[in-house]
A and B are shown apart, each in its own frame.
Chain A
Amino acid sequence: MISKQEVEYVAHLARLEIDDAQKDKFTSQLNDILLYIDKLNELDTTGVEPMSHAIAVTNAFREDRIVDSLGTEKSLANAPDGRGEFFRVPKVIE
């Protein structure tokens, strides 16, 4: 079972703010989902290699050759607060 405090903590980890009403709703919905997911513990998976990708591709190398990159102007074109060559953000420390 996930508690309301844990929901708060997970929200912080995910960089989300949730209000009290939403906290209650999320706690109960996440518990429903986690309860359902618990079903997996019926299965003994000792010794089963976890699968990460459907098609095993290792070392997907391509030729190392210089191609055009996006460039500063295009990279900053979508920035909410682009200044010169930088992405500007609010202050980090007092």
Chain B
Amino acid sequence: MELNQLTIHELQEKIKNGQTSATQVIESVFNRIDVVEERVHSYIRLMKDEALAAAKKADEDIKKGDIKPLTGIPVALKDIVCTKSITTTCGSHILHNFVPPYDATVVEKLRDAGAVFVGKANMDEFAMGSSTETSCFGVTRNPWDLTRIPGGSSGGSATAVAADECIASIGSDTGGSIRQPAALCGVVGLKPTYGRVSRFGLIAFASSLDQIGPFTKDVEDCAIMMNVLAGYDPRESTSVQTEVPDYRQFVGKGIAGWKIGIPKEYFIEGIDPEVAAAIKKAIAVIEKCGGQCVDISLPHTEYCLAVYYIIAPAEASSNLARYDGVKYGYRTSEARDLLDMYKKTRTQGFGTEVKRRIMIGTYALSSGYYDAYYKKASQVRALIKHDFAEALKKCDVILTPTTPTPAFKIGEKTDNPLQMYLSDLFTISSNLAGIPGISVPCGFTAAGLPVGMQFLAGHFEEGKLIQIASAYEKNANIEKRRPQL
């Protein structure tokens, strides 16, 4: 095995034992990038000079015996988190030249924990998309089949881990943007509880739904990353002041006696038969681990997508009003007056999907329509949250497929927004309810495409997700495959 293929915990062992150095690890990652990046395109921007300097510093620390949870571990950052002095584009032309004057809290935390940043990962423009095709900086390709999408919006973060172009990465999830690409690329992805991880320095899409989380090669690494990311931040008023457990303690604990809720609304017609078969097999493994499956119902499931496609665009239209060509980012060169400058800047700066969502959101919030759309959606959102509260009285965790289908072809759904939105069918509900969700790999289709299984739990119960995902991972004996690139 090459160093870049290893997990965080495996590399930590080697680094501690002096079998390898941070410099060797980062060199191995950049060697891999040299070979595959042209085809996969995980990154908008590589940070090679910074990474080599950080690795050198990590090696000095290691020599002094100062080893932190991520010392020398190469981590990729979705280009939606602000990095001081490093251009941060959010996948958009309108921010193509934006150089943040500060670091996001998660970036600070990762840096303080010793992480080495590899680069800024590609993403759908402003995280609006499920395929990474709306990025203004080119499409990212699924390493398991280069003619297919990697999922989105955190597509580059997912492929960077799947293609071993980093060891772990950071994504953000507003309606599935961590879990859906994790499933389609065969890696682990966790969306924490709303308020668990600080959003300070995360470029806003839909503020009541956005949450930052990790992509990793296995569940133990997910726990290690969560130990670094989670916690209250006085700079972020929606981050919550509750105690953060040591997530690593949940790894390998087992789930004997647990009740696993199977929501009938998530096992519908239209699920790809190979996905359904993989999930069925995974359920058998969970039962073998001592989990007892119980039927549950989330009666408002069929309304989730409609609620999401009011709330997310409405909040986005408000959040994206700040891109006006005045304080930062792109400005048109051909304005007659101020209003004309705003209009031309935004028209030239935003891509089609972003405009479409700004339009939906502006319409939904416009005078005379607020009650019919935003208020109605917020009421149904309350019903959806209530569904989960009731269901979670009957079980410890909920099990679902992460996505209805494996990765689709590049270009297949770009002209049909509603079809594209449907790929987030199973992930959106937890953003609306604010609960955490994890996607773990659970096998492959006959064509060799990864399938993901999702677990959901109550607010601040990320520990339970790590516990069951780790129990599954240990007992499933999923064939260890790597994409052939």
Residues of A within 8 A of B (CB): 2, 6-7, 10-11, 13-18, 22, 26, 29-30, 32-34, 36-37, 39-41, 43, 45, 48-55, 57, 60, 62-63, 70, 74-75, 77-81, 87, 89-92
The distance in angstroms between the C-alpha atoms of A39 and B352, with both chains bound, is 25
Q: A11-B359, A53-B434 are in contact. Are A89 and B338 (CB under 8 A)?
A: yes
Question: Does B234 touch A at the CB level, under 8 Å?
Answer: yes
Question: Does B195 touch A at the CB level, under 8 Å?
Answer: yes
B347 interface neighbour in A16, A50, A80, Cβ under 8 Å: A16
A57 interface neighbour in B238, B328, B335, Cβ under 8 Å: B238
Question: Does B449 touch A at the CB level, under 8 Å?
Answer: no
* A17 with B385: CB separation less than 8 A: no
Q: A55-B434, A62-B234, A80-B331 are in contact. Are A30 and B356 (CB under 8 A)?
A: yes
The distance in angstroms between the C-alpha atoms of A16 and B302, with both chains bound, is 33
Q: A10-B366, A17-B347, A30-B363 are in contact. Are A60 and B306 (CB under 8 A)?
A: no
Chain A proximity of B304: nearest CB distance (Å): 11
The distance in angstroms between the C-alpha atoms of A1 and B61, with both chains bound, is 64
* A15 with B324: CB separation less than 8 A: yes
Chain A proximity of B340: nearest CB distance (Å): 7
| Chain B residues, Cβ within 8 Å of A18 | 347, 355
Which of B70-78, B113-121, B173-181, B369-377 lies at the binding interface? B369-377
Question: Does B379 touch A at the CB level, under 8 Å?
Answer: yes
* A37 with B310: CB separation less than 8 A: yes
* A55 with B376: CB separation less than 8 A: no
* B359 with A51: CB separation less than 8 A: no
* B358 with A16: CB separation less than 8 A: yes
Q: Of all chain B residues, which has the CB nearest A63?
A: B234
* B347 with A92: CB separation less than 8 A: no
For B146-184 the 0/1 string (1 means CB < 8 A from A) is: 000000000000000000000000000000000000000
* B327 with A90: CB separation less than 8 A: no
* A10 with B326: CB separation less than 8 A: no
* A36 with B309: CB separation less than 8 A: yes
| Chain B residues, Cβ within 8 Å of A13 | 362, 366
The distance in angstroms between the C-alpha atoms of A62 and B379, with both chains bound, is 31
List 17 A-B residue pairs with CB atoms under 8 Å apart, sorted by A's residue number: A10-B366, A13-B366, A16-B346, A29-B356, A30-B363, A37-B306, A39-B302, A40-B377, A43-B380, A49-B379, A50-B375, A50-B381, A53-B194, A70-B102, A78-B97, A80-B328, A90-B341
| Chain B residues, Cβ within 8 Å of A37 | 306, 309-310, 373
| Chain B residues, Cβ within 8 Å of A79 | 326-328
| Chain A residues, Cβ within 8 Å of B258 | none
Q: Of all chain A residues, which has the CB nearest B365?
A: A13
Q: Of all chain B residues, which has the CB nearest A87?
A: B326
Question: Does B337 touch A at the CB level, under 8 Å?
Answer: yes
| Chain A residues, Cβ within 8 Å of B380 | 40, 43, 45, 48
Q: Of all chain A residues, which has the CB nearest B242?
A: A55
B309 interface neighbour in A14, A33, A43, A50, Cβ under 8 Å: A33
For B366-409 the 0/1 string (1 means CB < 8 A from A) is: 10000001011111111101000000000000000000000000
The distance in angstroms between the C-alpha atoms of A52 and B194, with both chains bound, is 12
* A14 with B338: CB separation less than 8 A: no
Q: A40-B307, A55-B194, A60-B237 are in contact. Are A16 and B359 (CB under 8 A)?
A: yes
* A30 with B359: CB separation less than 8 A: yes
The distance in angstroms between the C-alpha atoms of A66 and B9, with both chains bound, is 41
The distance in angstroms between the C-alpha atoms of A50 and B303, with both chains bound, is 15
Chain B proximity of A84: nearest CB distance (Å): 15
The distance in angstroms between the C-alpha atoms of A80 and B102, with both chains bound, is 19
| Chain B residues, Cβ within 8 Å of A63 | 234
| Chain A residues, Cβ within 8 Å of B366 | 10, 13
* B342 with A80: CB separation less than 8 A: no
For A18, A26, A77, A90, which residue has the most chain B Cβ atoms within 10 angstroms? Answer: A90
For A11, A33, A57, which residue has the most chain B Cβ atoms within 10 angstroms? Answer: A33
Question: Does B472 touch A at the CB level, under 8 Å?
Answer: no
Question: Does B414 touch A at the CB level, under 8 Å?
Answer: no
The distance in angstroms between the C-alpha atoms of A2 and B99, with both chains bound, is 39
| Chain B residues, Cβ within 8 Å of A78 | 97-99, 101, 327-329
Q: A18-B347, A54-B433, A78-B328 are in contact. List 6 more A-B contacts (CB 8 A).
A: A14-B362, A22-B352, A36-B309, A50-B375, A54-B195, A75-B101
| Chain B residues, Cβ within 8 Å of A43 | 300, 303, 380, 383
Q: Of all chain B residues, which has the CB nearest A27?
A: B359
* B310 with A45: CB separation less than 8 A: no
Q: A16-B355, A89-B338 are in contact. Are A10 and B208 (CB under 8 A)?
A: no
For window 57-92 of chain B, which residues contact chain A by CB distance below 8 Å?
none
* B326 with A90: CB separation less than 8 A: no
* B433 with A80: CB separation less than 8 A: no
Chain B proximity of A36: nearest CB distance (Å): 6
B238 interface neighbour in A7, A39, A50, A53, Cβ under 8 Å: A53
Question: Does B32 touch A at the CB level, under 8 Å?
Answer: no
| Chain B residues, Cβ within 8 Å of A2 | 363
Q: What 4 pairs between A and B have smallest CB-CB spacing?
A: A54-B434, A78-B328, A50-B378, A80-B331
* B356 with A53: CB separation less than 8 A: no
Q: Of all chain A residues, which has the CB nearest B417?
A: A29
